[in-house]
């Protein structure tokens, strides 16, 4: 199915620490086992900002960022059997090839089939499909949704219900799925549990939503920004606390508040000090703490081994443990049947040209998710 180069609009990060630049880019046709997608909506996540800041050791420039998007298949390369032009899709930064030892193991969702090239900002054949002003532009997280058209590997695509509103379900490409899955898949929260959620951004709110769905009886939100408390309660938090209001370390406060500690805690920030507090806020004998936030490269976690010897468990999760190709369509179906919230995460909807404004809103803590529409 030969198709031509497409010229379209994209937000290019020419160098670290600079605002994105709206440019006309050329998007090459998909090669074998690749899919070209017309992106309809994309959202901005802290991971995009982390790479843009220059702190990400895997960050390559110039690059087209973006990994929370939704769109329509425009064309497919040879050998693509499960997708066709016109399909409604969500690109996936965690693929699912169904063949590698990770995909064949029910304990993990971390498909490694294209990990090496994806980390280098390239397609599986080691090249890029993007050019701008005569320069090769790198891909990002295998998705690059900050472009009107993008090319992704066919194993990095979830085909979803065509009736789904793309300016909402694009959020299932990262943040909501990650937080919700941390509860359902990684922690496996039981009904009647007490949970603490550190960090009340988009991912933290998705964790709260998951805890509520799982039947937790007490859900404690923890954040330094008291402005986030009302929204957290709307999502299901039973109470919220601000560490600044206490002289003691927050883990001690939580242990007192919960008669010995919480059953489950979730760190949704990426701060190694908070990760320690989240573990130490867990109940002796059975408490489980899940690291959801991604800390900066090179940082290390610490606690006393006695915390684990006395029955606490420390876990981590990526994309909420969902095997992506098979799970994202089910998450879309759960949203369509109103089992999970998505609309409530969208605080701002902006035209794509205002992408830098979306980053500013996020840094200012004024948005949960800003969705950009082409």
Residues 179 and 204: beta-carbon distance below 8 Å: yes
Q: Which of 60, 108, 115, 218 is catalytic?
A: 115
CA atoms within 13 A on the CB side of 302: 3
* pLDDT score of 112: 98
Q: Which of 45, 240, 268, 282 is catalytic?
A: 45
Q: Which of 36, 46, 312, 348 is catalytic?
A: 46
* pLDDT score of 3: 77
Residues 220 and 195: beta-carbon distance below 8 Å: yes
To the query of whether residue 240 is one of the catalytic residues in this protein, the response is no
* pLDDT score of 2: 56
To the query of whether residue 47 is one of the catalytic residues in this protein, the response is yes
To the query of whether residue 268 is one of the catalytic residues in this protein, the response is no
* pLDDT score of 58: 85
To the query of whether residue 282 is one of the catalytic residues in this protein, the response is no
Q: Which of 23, 100, 131, 357 is catalytic?
A: 100
Q: Which of 33, 36, 67, 139 is catalytic?
A: 67
Residues 11 and 28: beta-carbon distance below 8 Å: no
To the query of whether residue 111 is one of the catalytic residues in this protein, the response is yes
Residues 129 and 28: beta-carbon distance below 8 Å: yes
- Residue-by-residue pLDDT tens, the chain, 374 positions: 557 999 999 999 999 999 999 999 999 999 999 999 999 999 999 999 999 999 888 899 999 999 999 999 999 999 999 999 999 999 999 999 999 999 999 999 999 999 999 999 999 999 999 999 999 999 999 999 999 999 999 999 999 999 999 999 999 999 999 999 999 999 999 999 999 999 999 999 999 999 999 999 999 999 999 999 999 999 999 999 999 999 999 999 999 999 999 999 999 999 999 999 999 999 999 999 999 999 988 999 999 999 999 999 999 999 999 999 999 999 999 999 999 999 999 999 999 999 999 999 999 988 999 999 99
* pLDDT score of 168: 98
**Helix or strand or coil: residue 135?**
strand
Which residues 6+ apart lie within 8 Å of 345 measured at CB? 171, 175, 176, 202, 205, 206, 368, 369
Residue at token pair 């941390």: 182
To the query of whether residue 100 is one of the catalytic residues in this protein, the response is yes
To the query of whether residue 46 is one of the catalytic residues in this protein, the response is yes
CA separation for the pair 369, 363 (Å, rounded): 11
To the query of whether residue 67 is one of the catalytic residues in this protein, the response is yes
**Helix or strand or coil: residue 277?**
helix
Q: Classify residue 106 as exposed, middle or buried by CB count within 10 Å of its CB (0-12, 13-18, 19+).
A: exposed
Determine which helix (DSSP H) or strand (DSSP E) holds 203, and give its type and residue range.
Answer: helix 202-213
């Amino acid at each position: 199915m030969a198709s031509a180069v497409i010229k379209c609009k994209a937000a290019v990060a020419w160098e670290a620490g600079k605002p994105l630049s709206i440019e006309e880019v050329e998007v090459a046709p998909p090669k074998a086992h690749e899919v070209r997608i017309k992106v309809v909506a994309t959202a901005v996540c802290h991971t995009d900002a982390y790479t843009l800041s220059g702190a990400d050791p895997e960050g390559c420039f110039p690059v087209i960022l973006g990994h929370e998007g939704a769109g329509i298949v425009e064309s497919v390369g040879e050998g693509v059997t499960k997708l066709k032009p016109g399909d409604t899709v969500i690109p996936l930064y965690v693929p699912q090839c169904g063949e590698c030892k990770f995909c064949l193991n029910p304990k993990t969702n971390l498909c490694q089939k294209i990990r090496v090239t994806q980390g280098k900002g390239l397609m599986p054949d080691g090249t890029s499909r993007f050019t701008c002003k005569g320069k090769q532009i790198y891909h990002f997280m295998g998705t690059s949704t900050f472009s009107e058209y993008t090319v992704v590997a066919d194993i990095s695509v979830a085909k979803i219900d065509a009736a789904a509103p793309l300016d909402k379900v694009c959020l299932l490409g990262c943040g909501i799925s990650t937080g919700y899955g941390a509860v359902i898949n990684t922690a496996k929260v039981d009904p009647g549990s007490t949970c603490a959620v550190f960090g009340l951004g988009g991912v933290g709110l998705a964790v709260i939503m998951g805890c509520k769905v799982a039947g937790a009886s007490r859900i404690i939100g923890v954040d330094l920004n008291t402005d986030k408390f009302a929204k957290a309660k709307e999502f299901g938090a039973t109470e919220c606390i601000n560490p600044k209001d206490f002289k003691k370390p927050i883990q001690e406060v939580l242990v007192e508040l919960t008669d010995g500690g919480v059953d489950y805690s979730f760190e949704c920030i990426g701060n190694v000090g908070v990760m320690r507090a989240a573990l130490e806020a867990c109940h002796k004998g059975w408490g489980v703490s899940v690291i959801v936030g991604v800390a900066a490269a090179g940082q290390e976690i610490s606690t006393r081994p006695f915390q684990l010897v006395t029955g606490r468990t420390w876990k981590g999760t990526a994309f909420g443990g969902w095997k992506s190709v098979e799970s994202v369509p089910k998450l879309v179906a759960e949203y369509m049947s109103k089992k999970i919230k998505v609309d409530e995460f969208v605080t701002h909807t902006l035209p794509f040209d205002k992408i830098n404004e979306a980053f500013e809103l996020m840094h200012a803590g004024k948005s949960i998710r800003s969705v950009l529409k082409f």
